[in-house]
Each structure stands twice: as C-alpha cells, then as structure tokens.
C-alpha cells in the first residue's frame, strides 16, 4: 500500500520540466474563438536592455495570476508579451560599448550605428523574456512583439501622420526639458523632481543713468547671460517708479526693460525677478506675454556658448558676445566663476542656503536644463478631455479604488503639450521631410523626385509615443484584423503608479482617439518592492535582490508566493532575502501533505468523494463545507483585484484547516479503523480536497501544483493549466457543522494551551471533565476521539457533583467549562521544584531590569529605542512571573 514519493520536494526537477511541457502543448496560445469570451492583458513591455528585477517579478506574478485564473474559468486568454526599444537607454548601452573601442556613434554614422544597435538587441534583447519564463509567466510567446517591429513601426507612422493632419502635432520653438548628458529633449513626466540643498544668490543689477540698483534673487546666476527683462508684481506699487528705466545685466551689459507680470510673487526675494525666456519655462511664458526677445546662452551639452544666440518673434536674429573667460565652461563651473566675479564687482549682495526642487533626467539622473529648442509637440488638451471623462464615469476603473483617481484628474486637467521629438538615432524616425525652401511634408515614404530633393527629419520619436499604442498596435492596427476585433479592448492593465502619466494616461488617450474605445476596463496599480528598511531598491544603494538568485535558492513558486503573501492591495512590499523562506515553507507543507496521502493511498486515486457522502463523518462534512468557502474566498479575491486576500483564503484553509486539523483527525481512520469504507471515505475526501486545493493554488504557485495534480488526475484529464476552476457546491455548505467544529477546535486548543501552561508533559494522557448543556455534551462525546488524539485526553466525562474545582485547571470555551485535575496530571514534587526554580530565575531577571531602569544615567544617555526595549522586556518578565506564581499558589497553597 502507498506510493513512493520523495521525502523532500525538489523544485529544480519540476519547474523546467513542466514549463517546457506547457510550451510544447501550447497551452498559453490564444486564438480568435467566437465560442469563448476573450480575456486579454498586454504586458507592460520591459526595456529591451532590462534584466528581471523584483518589481518585474511582482508585477508579472499578478498578471499571471489573473491570466491563469481566467484560463481555468474557460476564457480565451491572451497575455500578450513584448519588449520596448527604450530609445535613450538602449542607445546609451551601445554607445558605452563603442567607447570601450575608442569610438563614438559619429565614427560609424547613423546607418551603421543603428545596425550595431540591432545586433546588440538580437544578442541581448531576449534576456528578460527568458527570465520571465523562469518565473512561470504563461504569456502567448507566439505573439511576442517589439516596439520597433515592422507592424508596430507602421502604426507609429500612421498615428503621427493622422495627428499632424488633424492639427494636433506641430513643430515649434519652445522651452523643453533638456538632458545634457543624453543630449536630448525630455517630456515633462520624464523629469524627476528632487529637493536639493542649494543657494539663493542676491545680485545687484544697475539702473541705467543712475547710482541706483535693484537686487534680484536667483538659484541659477549663470543664466543672467540670457536675461532679457526684469519683472515685478502688479501689486508691488513701491517699484513702479522704475518703470520706463533700463536695467543693466552684469557681464554682457545688456539693457533690458522692467515689466509687470502676474507670475511674480513680490514676497520672494526682493520682489525683482530676472526673466530668461530661453532657459526657464515660466520666463518663457512671461516673454510670450510681453513679446520679449530670447537669448540662448548654453549649448546642448550644458556648456556656455562662445556667442549667445538672439531670437525675436521665434526667429534667429544674431549672435551676441560673451566674455572669453566664460565661453565653453560647464554650466556649474560658469556659476562659480560668475559668483566670484560678482563679488569682485561689488554686485553680489549676499548668498544664503536655499532648499528647492530641481528637475533631474529620469534616465541619466543629471539636473535637466530648461532649454529653448525647436521640437515636435502633441496638443494634449483635446485628447485629455475624453480620457478624463471615461475614468470619471467609471468606464475605466482604477484599483485600489479611490487612491489614484484624483491624481489622474489633476494631471489631465493641467496637462501641457507633449514634446515628442528626441535627438537620438535609435527609435522611430519622425516621418517629416524638408526641401531647400524649408517646406515640410509629413508622409511615410521619401517624397523626393528627380527635380526636388527632400531630407528626412533627423530626430526620432519619444519611446512612449510608440508604447501608447501597445494595446492595439500589437493586435495588428491600423489593419482591421480578426485579433483586433476579438481581443480589443483588453481587460486589465497591471502596472506601477509611477507611470500613470508616462503610459497609462497616454494609452487611454490613444485608444479613444484611434480605436474610439477604451484600451482596457481595469487598471491595477501594484506597489513598489522595497528593502527591509523600506528603501526603494536601486543599484546605487546596492540593496536590490535578484529574483533569479532567489529562484535558484528557493524556487519560482516560493518567489511568487512570497511576493503576493507580503503584499496587500496596492501597498508597497518590504522584502529581505530570508523573506522567501515563507514561500519555501509553504511548498514543503503542501508537499508533505500530498506525501502523507500518497503513503496511505491505493495505487489509484479516488477523488469522487460524493459517492461516499452517506458515510461522511463530522470532520468530513466540516472540511468539505470549509472548502466551498475557500473557493468563494479565492474567486472573490481575484475578481476584486485583491490577490493577497485570495492567496490568504487558500493558504489559511490549506495550512490551518486541512493540514493542521483535518489530516490529523483522519489518522485514526487510516491507521486504527478496521472498517474499509471508513478508510476509503477519508482518503477520497482528503484526495478531493488536495486536488481541488491545487486548482485554487495554481495561479499563485503553478509548478508544484501541476506536479501534485498530475499524480491525482483521472486518465481523461490533461493538465492543471486547462482544467476547470472549482465550482462552489452550495449544497455542501453546512453552517451548523462549521459552528460546531469551531467549538471543538477552540476546546481542543484551550486544553492544549492549559497543558502547556501547567507544564504537563506532551506524552502524558490526562482526564478532562466538562460542564455543558445537553447539546454541547453530545457534541463533545461525538468528537471524543479527536480530543483523545489531538489533546492527549484519556477520559472525557461530565463534571461529577463532588468535583473539587480548586484542585483543577479550568478553561472556558463558549460558556462550556473544561477541567483538568492537576494532581492527577502532574508529578507534584518535580513540579514544585521546577516552579520554585523558575520563580527564582524570573525574579533575578526582574531585579536586573529594574536596576537598569532606575538608573538615571542609563535613562538619560541610552537611546529612547533601547530604553523602551528594556521596559518591554520588564513587562514580559513580570507577566511570566505572575503566571508562574499563580500556578504555584493553585498547586501548593502559598506563594514561593
């Protein structure tokens, strides 16, 4: 009897085996199937340069749970995978490789450099896809896409041309966020704002033909080279006497006007604000309102130009001189030189510390430079209005609900035009062409003729311009494909809240504009994975945990299980390497439960438990009822995007109820009963629960569940991946049995706890008496075998009339009293000696703690955490001491 099952579960022998099997059987592949409802998720495409990190592991585990669940429900499930070309990041990687050879991209030229990047992508670009497979991701790998695929590139060109023809894309001279390190423009949401300890410089600007001067406060004194005005607030009447006078800009001796503008806060600094339209977005707006000229004083690499460039009415006019000692200097070096020169000139009034927000490039991490540049832009307000409306009306629901809607609304209401051109070579080339006359044509193909040469725009599009189309471009748009009709709109997007504007909002706008339909019905924002100290994991801190290392050490199932178990809806996770022991321990629990059944089963598993229903015992009816509740809990948790709740529902059922109670309760029937039908009934119910629990656990831990399920399946069944999700059988739910079992469990646990508290030896059998009404008495007697097995109870009897309650330990469970005669259960001489020693030990610890806490020197010098820890320690000692003294008094009549 019994099957040979390895004592220790070895995931290395299981995980690759089953994943290869699933791929071979093409269980993850989706087709247009009118007989089924579709369920679609598009993967947030990771950068082609990326390696799997814990954020990816967490995000993709959530997606896989949703997909595997709906696949088992019978949906035609498409989880569409792919990667993003990641313009800046990928170009930077390849440029660094070239630098090792002493070359730059300019040595190769554009065409050869792009070929080089494609070579790198083909060699290294599939790394993260392979790693996602190791996590168990059940994506439809036949449909894997890349944002520079031919089809997706065609969609990008089509979108650009349509928006241009509609007047929603334009080219203009505007202030943009410039990344000097990557030498490209960035969109507003690609800028990370950080609080920086800087300085506020108070500079004296002379008033022309006067000994008078004004004081201007600025955090960036180097930009005074580009000043074209000074502004005051409309309500700052004290300064109105200067209107009409010229202000002299230091170093360049440029004469500028004093203007009045609503943007100025008279309480900031002296109330005078320098206006540098070419190097500050707010100043640019002031310049537009007052028709000010614009002076560009920095080059694209963040260095001071040799000659400033003057623009009027959006057109380049002339060059302006700059002092030789500033030309070519880095912006921060120029700042130091200017400050020193201002001191020498007597025009630096004071410098004071100043904390302010500074924008940094999300890629290179260097401070961005507001920069006057000719770029391509998308008008966002017409697109944003519809995208805001569908969220406010609930057509797209955010999860967790109520946390991100206001943020989304604020951003969409205050949205600015999107700078979409990037000064890179890797990416989607802008489909705009120019002739010698400066005319523009926007089209896919080169419009050149033998008589007229047209040159293509050198810039590429922002990476997010292509990824905004991901939910429909990946399904064949702009062609009207069967896949597009069937799988769009998608059902769920799972992503981090940090890209709600980069990507989520833009996908909604693009979906509504080009598909006239929302791109997804639900957006689930997962939390951030942090280290044990709550810090965001990063390379600079060196606090990241490699998921692949954890898979190697603990298994993919353990990594998946731990990430979900430690999360709650939308909350961040604090994680250490040892956290994954949680997942490994659960896998071992599952395996041991299966092994226990296998060792007690016949060669053929019988999970058709209902044919034995007439022979069900109290515990059979209870566990079957509880399992129906577990199905409900897991199903509702996943449906409501509360995957942590879903996992907890099956985890607590399987560990706490099935393993710790039911399997223990049936051991008597398996080992001691001579009644074969009793034994078969217990094994059939246990096998049914085991197999069906694997179904509920499968979305979370797919590998071990398939391994066990394969041992339990019938001949006609194929794989747990495609087996049906368990259905709740309402007729099997028995609230009365569940309530009665709660009483039995509480009673057994209370007796166990009392035994432990009174130091009754584990193997010592005890007599227990109870005081209960007739119904409870019958319930206790029905389950006396469980009290005997699980609480080592020899006899379980109603309380005699002459029973001496003073000589017994007592616990009360739901108004029923249970008594243990202590003098029967204990060796009193040994117990007296033990209790005396324990009292003496605890009194010594109490004395030591009190001495420390009564020491003023300790209280004053020790950190508050240390003092509080000592107080907690004392409280714990005193609580234990009280318990031991009470036990001594109960047994021996007086305190030690």
Q: Are strands 520-525 and 397-399 parallel, antiparallel or unpaired?
A: parallel
Q: Give, in order, the Cα–Cα distances in Å from 199 to each of 249, 269, 335.
A: 20, 12, 11
Task: For residue 600, give the nearest of 726, 703, 684, 689 by alpha carbon.
Answer: 684
Q: How far apart are CA 854 and CA 850, in angstroms?
A: 6
Length of the chain as a residue count: 896
> How buried is 671 (Cβ within 10 angstroms: 0-12 exposed, 13-18 middle, 19+ buried)?
exposed
Q: What is the 3-state secondary structure (H, E, C) of 282-329?
A: HHHHHHHHCCCCEEEEECCCCEEEEEEEEEECCEEEEEEECCCCCCCC
Site of tokens 């697109």: 383
SS3 at position 439: coil
By the 8 A CB rule, do 90 and 49 touch?
yes
Residue 148 tokens read as 């520079």
- Tokens found for residue 625: 């009822």
Torsion angle of C-alpha atoms 436, 438, 439, 443, degrees rounded to 10 = 80
Bridge partners for 213 per DSSP: 206
- Residue 584 sits at φ, ψ, to 5 deg, of -65, -40
Neighbours of 677 (CB within 10 A): 12
Sheet containing strand 520-525, strands side by side:
76-80, 38-42, 490-495, 520-525, 397-399
Task: Return the H-helix or E-strand segment holding 231.
Answer: strand 229-232
Least Cα distance to 63 among 516, 729, 661, 520 occurs for 520
The torsion region of residue 800 among left (phi > 0), alpha (psi -120 to 50) and beta comes to beta
Specify whether the CB–CB gap between 638 and 66 falls below 8 A: yes
Tokens, residue 399: 């999860």
Q: 441 among the known binding-site residues?
A: no
CB distance 170 to 377 below 8 Å = yes
Q: Residues annotated in the binding site, as ranges?
A: 539
Q: Residues annotated in the binding site for ATP, as ranges?
A: 539
């Amino acid at each position: 009897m019994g099957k040979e099952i390895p004592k220790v579960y070895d995931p290395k022998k299981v995980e690759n085996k089953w994943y290869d099997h699933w791929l071979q059987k093409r269980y993850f592949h989706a087709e247009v199937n009118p007989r089924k409802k579709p369920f679609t998720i598009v993967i947030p495409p990771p950068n082609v340069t990326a390696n799997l990190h814990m954020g990816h592991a967490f995000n993709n585990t959530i997606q896989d749970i949703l997909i595997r669940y709906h696949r088992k429900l019978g949906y035609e499930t498409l989880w569409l995978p792919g990667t993003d070309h990641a313009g800046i990041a990928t170009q930077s990687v390849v440029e660094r490789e070239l630098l090792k050879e002493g070359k730059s991209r300019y040595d190769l030229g554009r065409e050869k450099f792009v070929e080089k990047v494609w070579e790198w992508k083909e060699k290294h670009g599939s790394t993260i896809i392979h790693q996602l497979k190791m996590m168990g991701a059940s994506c439809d790998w036949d449909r894997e896409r890349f944002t520079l695929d031919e089809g997706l590139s065609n969609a990008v060109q089509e979108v650009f041309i349509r928006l241009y023809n509609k007047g929603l894309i334009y080219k203009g001279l505007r202030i943009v966020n410039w990344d000097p390190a990557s030498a490209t423009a960035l969109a507003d949401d690609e800028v990370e704002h950080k609080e920086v300890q800087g300085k506020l410089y108070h500079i004296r600007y002379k008033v022309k033909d006067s000994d008078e001067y004004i004081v201007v406060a600025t955090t960036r004194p180097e930009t005074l080279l580009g000043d074209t005005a000074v502004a005051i607030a409309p309500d700052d009447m004290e300064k109105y006497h200067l209107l009409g006078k010229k202000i002299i800009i230091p170093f360049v001796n440029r004469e500028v006007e004093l203007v009045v503008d609503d943007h100025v806060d008279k309480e900031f600094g002296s109330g005078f604000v320098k206006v540098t339209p070419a190097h500050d977005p707010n100043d640019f707006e002031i310049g537009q309102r007052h028709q000010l000229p614009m002076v560009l004083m920095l080059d694209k690499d963040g260095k001071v130009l040799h000659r400033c460039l003057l623009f009027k009415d959006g057109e380049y006019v002339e060059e302006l001189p700059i002092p030789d000692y500033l030309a070519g200097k880095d912006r921060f070096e120029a700042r130091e030189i200017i400050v020193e020169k201002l001191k020498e000139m007597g025009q630096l009034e004071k410098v004071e510390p100043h904390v302010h927000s500074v924008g940094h490039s999300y890629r290179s991490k260097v401070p961005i430079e507001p920069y006057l540049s000719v770029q391509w832009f998308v008008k966002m307000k017409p697109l944003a209005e519809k995208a805001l409306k569908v969220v406010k009306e609930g057509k797209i629901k955010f999860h967790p609900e109520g946390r991100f809607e206001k943020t989304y609304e604020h951003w969409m209401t205050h949205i600015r035009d999107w700078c979409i051109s990037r000064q890179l070579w890797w990416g989607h080339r802008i489909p705009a062409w120019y002739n010698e006359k400066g005319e523009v044509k926007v089209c896919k193909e080169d419009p050149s003729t033998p008589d007229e040469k047209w040159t293509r725009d050198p810039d590429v599009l922002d990476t997010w311009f292509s990824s905004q189309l991901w939910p429909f471009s990946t399904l064949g748009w702009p062609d009207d494909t069967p896949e597009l009709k069937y799988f769009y709109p998608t059902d769920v997007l799972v992503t981090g809240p940090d890209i709600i504007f980069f990507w989520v909002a833009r996908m909604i706008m693009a979906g509504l504009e080009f598909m006239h339909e929302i791109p997804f019905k639900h957006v689930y924002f997962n939390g951030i994975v942090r280290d044990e100290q709550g810090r965001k994991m990063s390379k600079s801190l060196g606090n990241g945990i490699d998921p692949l290392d954890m898979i190697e050490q603990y298994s993919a199932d353990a990594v998946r299980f731990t990430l979900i178990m430690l999360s709650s809806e939308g909350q961040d996770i604090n994680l250490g390497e040892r956290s994954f022991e949680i997942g490994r321990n659960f896998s071992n629990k599952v395996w041991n439960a299966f092994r226990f059944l296998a060792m007690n089963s016949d060669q053929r598993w019988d999970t058709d438990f209902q044919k034995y229903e007439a022979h069900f015992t109290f515990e059979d009816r209870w566990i079957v009822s509880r399992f129906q509740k577990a199905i409900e809990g897991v199903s509702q948790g996943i449906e409501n995007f509360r995957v942590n709740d879903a996992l907890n529902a099956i985890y607590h059922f399987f560990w706490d109820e099935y393993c710790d109670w039911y399997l223990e309760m049936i051991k008597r029937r398996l080992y001691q009963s001579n009644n074969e039908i009793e034994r078969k009934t217990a094994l059939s119910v246990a096998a049914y629960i085991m197999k069906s629990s694997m179904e509920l656990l499968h979305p979370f831990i797919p590998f071990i569940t398939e391994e066990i399920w394969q041992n339990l399946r019938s001949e006609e069944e194929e794989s747990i991946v495609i087996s049906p999700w368990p259905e709740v059988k309402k007729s099997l739910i028995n609230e009365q049995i569940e309530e009665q079992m709660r009483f039995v469990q509480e009673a057994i646990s209370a007796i166990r706890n009392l035994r432990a508290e009174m130091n009754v030896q584990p193997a010592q059998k005890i007599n227990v008496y109870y005081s209960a009404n007739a119904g409870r008495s019958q319930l206790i007697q029905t389950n006396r075998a469980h009290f005997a097995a699980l609480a080592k109870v020899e006899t379980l009897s109603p309380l005699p009339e002459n029973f001496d309650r003073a000589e017994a330990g007592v616990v009360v469970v739901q108004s029923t009293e249970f008594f243990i005669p202590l003098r029967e259960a204990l060796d009193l001489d040994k117990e007296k000696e033990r209790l005396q020693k324990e009292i003496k030990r605890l009194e010594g610890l109490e004395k030591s703690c009190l001495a420390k806490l009564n020491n003023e020197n300790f209280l004053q010098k020790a950190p508050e955490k240390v003092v509080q820890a000592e107080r907690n320690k004392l409280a714990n000692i005193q609580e234990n001491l009280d318990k031991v003294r009470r036990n001594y008094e109960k047994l021996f009549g007086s305190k030690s």
